[in-house]
Amino acid sequence: MPTVVFIYRIENNPTVFYGKYVTDYISNDHQGLDKEVFPKLIIGLNEYRKKQNLLKINEDDGVKVGIISCSSKHSELNYSSLDEIECFDFYHCYSTSFKFPKNIYYVNGEVFDLTNN
């Protein structure tokens, strides 16, 4: 499965957060992996913020994404178990395979299944 490991910052907060995106497919004709990850990050963060009664983050609120690494679906070295999920501030797994739920977000210790959304 293709994976993208990244860091992100929110607005003027100097804290660096860590994220991972695991999916079945990432197109080769994207405009940048940071731009591929960004909308998924915003969805997950806003779902978390809604549960915490915090204001929604808009796309122009200064969220920045920096890519650390990526791997293609053809790499056996990118496999890891879901046990790693708690090591990240943000984790999004989108898959149609039987091993994973279809649309899971993990943000700061909370899991959200948005499969039916």
Structural domain range at position 105:
3-113
Q: Is residue 38 scored above 90 in pLDDT?
A: yes
Q: Please, which pLDDT band fits residue 30 given cuts at 50, 70 and 90?
A: confident
Distance of alpha carbon 44 from alpha carbon 108, whole angstroms: 10
Q: How confident is the model at residue 91 (pLDDT cuts 50, 70, 90)?
A: very high
Flag whether pLDDT at 116 surpasses 80. no
Q: State the pTM of this model.
A: 0.85
Total domain count for the chain? 1
Q: Is residue 79 scored above 80 in pLDDT? A: no
State pLDDT tens for residues 56-75: 998 888 899 999 998 876 66
- Give the contacts of 66 (CB within 8 A, at least 6 positions apart): 6, 7, 8, 34
Q: Are 22 and 90 in contact (CB under 8 A)?
A: no
